[in-house]
Amino acid sequence: MPRMDIDRKAPILLERQREILASAFTVWKVLSDIQQWPQWVPHVDAMNLRGPFLIGSTFQWRSGWFPIVSTLREIQKPNRLVWEGNSLGVRAVHVWAIDEDGPGQCRVTTLESMEGWAPRTFRGSLEAKTANTLDIWLDALAKRVRGEVPCE
């Protein structure tokens, strides 16, 4: 199956990266359990995966006051998770890449593209807010993997 990528022609393109002291499988286990995102990801207030965790399945979630409907587009355990989502004039493609850097250490990269009327109209503010959100998400992922945000 071909890899899905962000839309490189979109008005907003973001990339953030973190080194995490854990194996790719450990990071994958946390990241791919999307039903649990509200337990550890700030700004994710609700989650409803409709169906199994498979390509083509959709999930409805809320980030702040934004309702989002997303579709799983690529699942490559333990290295890649891609979804596409729509909300309030925004079409986003989000890629998570997990690369093993050595024993018990990996590099997590998250990429996002946003297109639609909102990214074209509010590019600067939306880009800054989303970049900050991605940094927060990566920090939260690292804390969850280290056990600083307990499972419920």
**What is the three-class DSSP state of 30?**
helix
Burial class (CB in 10 A: 0-12, 13-18, 19+), 119: buried
pLDDT band at 24 (very low <50, low <70, confident <90, very high): very high
End-to-end Cα, the chain, rounded Å:
35
Look at the pTM and tell me if it is higher than 0.85: yes
Q: b/e string for 126-140 if b means 16 or more Cβ within 10 A?
A: bbeebeebbeebbeb
- Cis ω for the linkage preceding 150 (within 30 of 0): no
pLDDT digits (tens, 9 = 90+) for 42-78: 989 999 999 999 999 999 999 877 889 999 999 999 9
CATH number of 12-145: 3.30.530.20
Percent of the chain having pLDDT more than 70? 96
Residue among 6, 2, 4 at smallest CA distance from 93: 6
| pLDDT at position 152 | 47
Domain definitions of the chain by residue range: 12-145
| pLDDT at position 89 | 83
pLDDT digits (tens, 9 = 90+) for 77-104: 999 999 999 988 899 999 999 999 888 8
